[in-house]
A and B are shown apart, each in its own frame.
Chain A
Amino acid sequence: MAEDAALPADLLPAAFADWFATRGWAPRAHQLAMVARARAGRDALLIAPTGGGKTLAGFLPSLIELAQRPPANTPRGIHTLYISPLKALAVDVERNLATPIREMGLSIIAESRTGDTGAARRQRQRVKPPDILLTTPEQLALFCAWEGARAYFEDLSCIILDEIHTLHSTKRGDLLALDIARLQTFSPNLRRVGLSATVDDPDVIRRWMGFHAGEDAPPAVDLVLGPAGTPPIVEVLLSEGRVPWAGHTAQHAMAEVYEVIKKARTALVFVNTRFQAEFAFQELWRLNEDALPIALHHGSLAAEQRRRVEAAMARGELRAVVCTSTLDLGIDWGDVDLVIQLASPKGASRMVQRIGRANHRMDEASRALFVPANRFEMLECQAAREAIAENRFDGDPPRVGALDILAQHVMGCACSEPFDALALYEEIRTSGPYRALAWEDFEQVVDFVSTGGYALRAYDRFRRIVKGQDGLWRARNADTILRHRLNVGAILSPAVLSVRIAGRGGRAGRKVGEVEEGYLEALEPGDTFIFAGQVWRLVGVTALDVLVTPAPASDPKLPSWGGSKFALSTFLAKRVRELMFDQSHWSVLPADVREWLELQRDRSLIPAEDEMLVETFPRGKRHFMVCYPFEGRLAHTTLAMLMTRRLERMGAAPLGFVCNDYALAVWSLNPMDGVDLDALFHQDMLGDDLEDWLAESYMMKRSFKGCAILAGLIERRFPGAEKSGRQVTFSADLVYDVLRRHEPDHLLLRCAREDAATGLIDVARVGHMLARIQGKIRHAVLDHLSPFSVPMLLEIGKERVPGAAGEMILAEAAEDLIAEASS
């Protein structure tokens, strides 16, 4: 079913066939298949690697339809709506679309609309819609909350969802799915087109994007597969220097990385965090005797600076760009011939995406080099390399739509036009993520939108949406609508501070970039740090600005060296365990890493793929327990929090713990050799212990704040009165405490618990892991530390100890006072 066996010869109109011919191209099979699917009126998902003419395949049916439509007397509405996860990509596709339209002389208007689009153009687009509108999910949500939304979209015949694999499993995806359902109501013949990179299970995306007619209805979305593309050539850097035991910077390999860059035409150097980006950039320039044009690109830099780098890149003037996930997606860079991944890739799918940035052409293989920063990462890089060679990927679980997003959508619908609750419920259930939405949950959401949904009916007189005599729900007034519009979207950006050069009298001067609140937390005025590739001295922090002065040639203090924000994928973790257990496989590893594994085998043990190793040993005056679940830092942190509670009850007197992506270590006053490990790791750990811990944890506060903003309880900004992030954090925490004490079953607390369980503490993964290791725990009782445990012990002291940390910091400060007083 992937490719239509016999495509009719007349699929392409003459003008199009000629255009392909003049360019010296033949239309690809998947491009023609997309035209055929459109002609049959079918929704379709196209899966093709980067560089396969995927975007053109998505637009080709619309261009043909638009080219062939008869002239009209009255202005027409939008024909095709294109949704991209990135503003920059929407603008880029607008530019790329201009070429075929111009060269074929089509009278088609294609325009982008993003948060950066000027007011005049936005206004014109509203009055006189273009034929093709290219925009983002957030802009679409705003459109759908307009009063004229229904009329505006009634001619819509196609919606194209680009890079859909990045959206479908997120809250942005929930919002988009709801808006697509809305558009289908406005324009029943609307055709849905999804464009995706290679994924593990396309059916998950097909179910997400399709129209759900009911439980037993056949799949509504056809699958079209593009060609497989040439497999990438991936190598792992087997460094001449020794691979470090711990750390995330890959400093040991930087000279080799520089040499590789010298030999490449243009290299993209991907790292996992902004800190790593700054560090790698600094290191490369220290080695840069040839003064190669090497640039830096990450999300904290000022927008102008990022655009300058992008432009220089597009002109082919750069030899390397050190970047974070800001360059993960779609925009075409032309001449990149090598992708370097510094530190571990964490997942096979993201890596394939990144590797796809080299050689945006199908017939040439992309080249990539993995540079592991430590020994465990060496195993991980090898496992990822092999997975990519076998074309195997990480999978995303199917998504269940979040209720805070649903609340935002319900409010948006009321802003657009009066709605009937039952009809809206039916419409929402046609969307993938909400196909199983219970009526009771929907009712609860509507009540939340209307009155806050509290058991104490305090706000029944002040409803935000009101049910009229006609049974329809309407927004209360214009002010309510305005407030909603200011808070639309599912992106929660942390509060940011501008980094500015301190001028005379401490005034804020030129802006260097932006940092997230907390980025510079550990720095004191006078400290130096690296940012935007330069060394700065911190002068002070005002309400909105970080004031700095240049401090060239000083030795910077590094604010923090956290690991990756991405968790090691379940799929890749399993492959790492397999590689580790299979000794015949160790030959792919460099000698020092091999020796490390052999030592571990001889002094402790190497567990089988399905087993979990637990080591206990004394060291100094402490006793250590190190376990190796390979489930990612988040899941390990949760596990460690719960384990220490149990160890406390078992009398071990635990003192602290550290976690990384591969293992966790707990240390205690009393020996843990005799601990009943089956009891310690029993699955009932996820019951009351979890509830007790979670209710008090800062993670719940964080996810509550997010849910409260998305659901409209706490506003991002008030008309006329900007609130700084600091004050929002504070009041959200107060609101959380009060709500938890007085109405623990409230809808938003439910949302926050679900979010924390999936996103912040990875409960599902801990649950799967506990089930996996039942009866398969291998305990090694050692008299001193093992080779595997060394990286863990090296992390001690670098990691903050959560839990009662706040009280401890205050208590320490109180002790400081004594020192201060007696000095």
Chain B
Amino acid sequence: MTALARKSDPAPYAFAQSPCGGLEMEIMGAALRMRASGALLDLAHQALIVADLHFEKGSAYGMRGQFLPPYDTRDTLDRLEAEVAALEPRVVIFLGDSFHDGRAEDRLSSDDAARLVALAQGRTLIWLVGNHDADGPRRLPGQVVETMTLGGLVLRHEPEPGEQPGELSGHLHPCARVSSGRGTVRRRCFATDGTRMILPAFGAYAGGLNLKDAAFAGLFARPPLAGALGRDRVHAVGWRSLTSD
């Protein structure tokens, strides 16, 4: 048990279910919609934000002789394109670790690279760098940045320790685990205390870290709310319903 569990809950979280199955919430005055795909939409800026795509993770294993199906990049792109088609954002922001390693961009198939180029038509791509892709892409369209601000929000790959009002980050791949007498589910999730938010990994092969893991301790001002990704909707799951692995 972390110290979080002993803090008593202040006011309940304010959120609303949107007709598309998403979950809407305000952070530092910014209206955000968590999508069942794992992407986050900033409504005011029409910005689609995705974290930890880990393009070419499959081929990174393949080079070492473990032949995971080489379709993870294409699968991740399928889902990203579907979100872009549905929401028509003006800007797509990648929150870092978009590529599994420094050579991953070179391993992209020409088809997949062309799809990323097409994605940049009529909108801006912004690539935040992460620990897996410290240099960002070299040939793909878009800007490469370390961090950025979006209205009152600060976007970076790895969450800063301590309380960080207005921060959006990725890196930790949060997962929510819920048990009931009838079984257990473990799903990727958004994690937020109402002042900052950590996004789930969007990449097809990205694993997940339980929100109860020590790595999340100290990041939230109060027990966080998990926006667990369901089939067609984001489920708001409270801290007390979560279990560790």
Contacts and interface: CB of A to CB of B under 8 A. Distances in A.
Nearest to B71: A742
B238 A713 contact: no
B65 A813 contact: no
Given A452-B67, A479-B65, A810 B75 contact: no
A541 B184 CA distance: 15
A739 B75 CA distance: 9
B183 A456 contact: no
Contact of B235 (A543, A714, A726, A814): A814
Interface stretch (A2-10, A100-108, A312-320, A728-736): A728-736
A715 B64 CA distance: 12
Size category, B interface: 35 or more
A714 B230 CA distance: 26
A271 to B, nearest CB: 23
Given A540-B1, A735-B205, A806-B183, A821 B235 contact: no
A587 interface: no
Interface of A: 451-454, 456, 458-459, 462, 464, 476, 479-480, 483, 518, 521-522, 525, 540-541, 543, 713-715, 726-727, 730-731, 734-735, 737-739, 741-743, 746, 800-801, 805-814, 816-817, 820-822
Contacts of B182: 800-801, 805, 808-809
Interface in B196-215: 204-208
Contacts of A731: 205, 207
Contacts of B58: 458, 738
20 contacts: A452-B67, A452-B68, A454-B69, A462-B65, A462-B67, A483-B65, A525-B1, A541-B245, A727-B207, A734-B206, A735-B69, A738-B71, A738-B205, A741-B71, A741-B75, A805-B183, A809-B180, A809-B184, A821-B9, A821-B238
A301 B43 CA distance: 56
A810 B184 CA distance: 9
Interface in B39-85: 58-59, 62-72, 74-75, 78
A810 B204 CA distance: 21
A642 to B, nearest CB: 21
Closest 5 CB pairs of A and B: A452-B67, A821-B12, A458-B70, A742-B71, A817-B238
Contact of A459 (B70, B75, B208): B70
Nearest to A817: B238
A456 B237 contact: no
Scoring B69, B71, B231, B240 by chain A CB atoms within 10 A of each residue's CB, the highest score goes to B69
B70 A456 contact: yes
Given A454-B69, A480-B65, A809-B180, A742 B238 contact: no
A720 to B, nearest CB: 13
A399 to B, nearest CB: 28
Given A462-B62, A810-B237, A814-B237, A456 B185 contact: no
B129 to A, nearest CB: 24
A809 B238 contact: no
A479 B59 CA distance: 18
Contacts of B240: 816, 820
B70 A713 contact: no
Contacts of A821: 9, 12-13, 238
Given A459-B67, A746-B69, A810 B185 contact: yes
A713 B180 contact: no
Contact of B63 (A462, A479, A742): A462
Contacts of A814: 235-237
Contacts of B238: 813, 816-817, 820-821
A273 to B, nearest CB: 18
B149 interface: no
A816 B238 CA distance: 8
A647 B122 CA distance: 49
A451 B63 CA distance: 11
Given A541-B245, A726-B245, A735 B68 contact: yes
Given A541-B244, A810-B237, A822-B12, 8 more contacts: A452-B62, A540-B244, A734-B206, A737-B204, A738-B72, A738-B205, A806-B185, A813-B238
A807 B245 contact: no
Contacts of B74: 742
B48 to A, nearest CB: 22
Contacts of B181: 522, 800
